[in-house]
Amino acid sequence: MTQTHKCPTDTVHYTWHKEHEPILTIDSGDTVVFETREVSDNQFNFQSTIEAISELDWDYVYPLSGPVYINGAEPGDTLAVEILDLKTKHWGRTAVLPGLDLLAEDYPDAYLRTFDLSDGKYIHFNDDIKVPIEPFLGTMGVCPKDGDGTPIMPPGNFGGNLDVRQLTIGTKLYLPVQQAGALFSCGDGHAAQGDGEVCVSALECPMYASLKFTVIKASEKTIPSPQFQTKGGLTQKVNHDDFYGTTGVGPDLMTGAQEALRAMIDYVSETYNIEKIDAYLLASLCVDLKISEIVDAGEYVVSALLPLSIFNDSQE
């Protein structure tokens, strides 16, 4: 008979390490309920001011709940993680952390905004903009093969800090097992994020997550890196209305992404009369960067797509 377990909340870890002691041991088919901390390990809170950024202790960033040992999981197997439920707590924040964002040269100064999530459906970015709450865990992974104090960021073929916004309720994430028991951990809850997370922050928040784990043996399924299957459309809460797109064209995808984003910030700032720094944060929460074309004689196209449904005149 399958069971539901509650992951202890008093123990977290800040690196991937095969020697981390499992805080739970479960069977394939079991469900675990996690209570994850905000990605700074609550060095930010709803009342935080911009000074919290300069005081940030990076040794305590990316607190992960786990690891969870899944009986029967062996290297070469695949761990299926079904996302049964996700619930944000009452607050979240987004910020520009100097030097880490996509437009670091354009926005060299720190910037912070906190938001009330108690509505459960939207955050009110301002009087005219409502961003849907679409929660997901920015970090889910198994311990990597060479996990011996490996930083949580960046991600790898084991998963980790993937920041894939489509890993919402109903999605199944598949991870290649690299250690006995898989040693799964998660955290880094996001209430909203665009594809790209361009200012280096999503809408970061503490979160409850209910995840079901199934071991798929290597004889049935082997994968080289994370894969996933969504339930329904990719942007279910915004795909009912129009989008506005900007592009960057050239021989370098990173430069193209920057150009598309700059054009989008200009468009949002001029059209909706908000400061460029706020347009930048808004883009990190709901603008999707897409590779539109990558085969045309060395000139590639990156698009930035803004859902117009977030603006009040589209919601009426």
Question: Mind listing the pLDDT tens digit for each residue in 99-112?
Answer: 999 999 999 999 99
Across the chain, what does the average pLDDT equal? 96
Q: Say how far apart CA 227 and CA 224 lie, in whole Å.
A: 9
Work out the pLDDT band at 315, boundaries 50, 70, 90.
very low
Q: Say how far apart CA 285 and CA 270 lie, in whole Å.
A: 19
CATH architecture type of domain 243-315: Roll (3.10)
Task: Determine contact, residues 158/145, Cβ cutoff 8 Å.
Answer: yes
Question: Mind listing the pLDDT tens digit for each residue in 111-159?
Answer: 999 999 999 999 999 999 999 999 999 999 999 999 999 999 999 999 9
Beta-carbon contacts of 299 under 8 Å, excluding residues fewer than 6 positions away, are: 249, 250, 251
SS3 309: helix
Work out the pLDDT band at 313, boundaries 50, 70, 90.
low
What DSSP character marks residue 97? -
Q: Residue 19, Cβ neighbours under 10 Å: how many?
A: 9
Work out the pLDDT band at 237, boundaries 50, 70, 90.
confident
Q: Say how far apart CA 281 and CA 110 lie, in whole Å.
A: 12
CA 144 to chain centre: 19
pLDDT at 314: 54
What number is the average pLDDT over the span 92-104?
98
Q: Residue 113, Cβ neighbours under 10 Å: how many?
A: 18
Q: Say how far apart CA 126 and CA 282 lie, in whole Å.
A: 10
Angle between helices 253-272 and 276-286 (to 10 degrees): 120
Ranges of each domain in the chain: 4-229, 243-315
Question: Mind listing the pLDDT tens digit for each residue in 163-208?
Answer: 999 999 999 999 999 999 999 999 999 999 999 999 999 999 999 9
Pick the CATH number of 4-229 from 1.20.1250.20, 3.30.200.20, 2.60.120.580, 3.40.50.2300: 2.60.120.580
Work out the pLDDT band at 238, boundaries 50, 70, 90.
confident
Q: Say how far apart CA 69 and CA 150 lie, in whole Å.
A: 18
Residue 236 has pLDDT above 90, yes or no: no
Q: How do beta strands 148-151 and 15-17 pair?
A: antiparallel
Q: Say how far apart CA 85 and CA 135 lie, in whole Å.
A: 9
Question: Mind listing the pLDDT tens digit for each residue in 29-84?
Answer: 999 999 999 999 999 999 999 999 999 999 999 999 999 999 999 999 999 999 99
Q: Say whether 243-315 and 4-229 share the same fold.
A: no
pLDDT at 235: 65
Beta bridge partners of 299: none
Q: Residue 37, Cβ neighbours under 10 Å: how many?
A: 22
SS3 172: strand
What DSSP character marks residue 241? S
242 backbone dihedrals φ, ψ, rounded to 5°: -80, 165
Residue 161 has pLDDT above 80, yes or no: yes
Cα angle vertex 275, ends 269, 279, to 5°? 60
Question: Mind listing the pLDDT tens digit for each residue in 240-268?
Answer: 789 999 999 999 999 999 999 999 999 99
Task: Determine contact, residues 98/209, Cβ cutoff 8 Å.
Answer: no
pLDDT at 240: 73
Q: Say how far apart CA 166 and CA 136 lie, in whole Å.
A: 8
Q: Residue 232, Cβ neighbours under 10 Å: how many?
A: 11
pLDDT at 303: 99
Q: Say how far apart CA 110 and CA 131 lie, in whole Å.
A: 22
Q: Say how far apart CA 47 and CA 96 lie, in whole Å.
A: 17
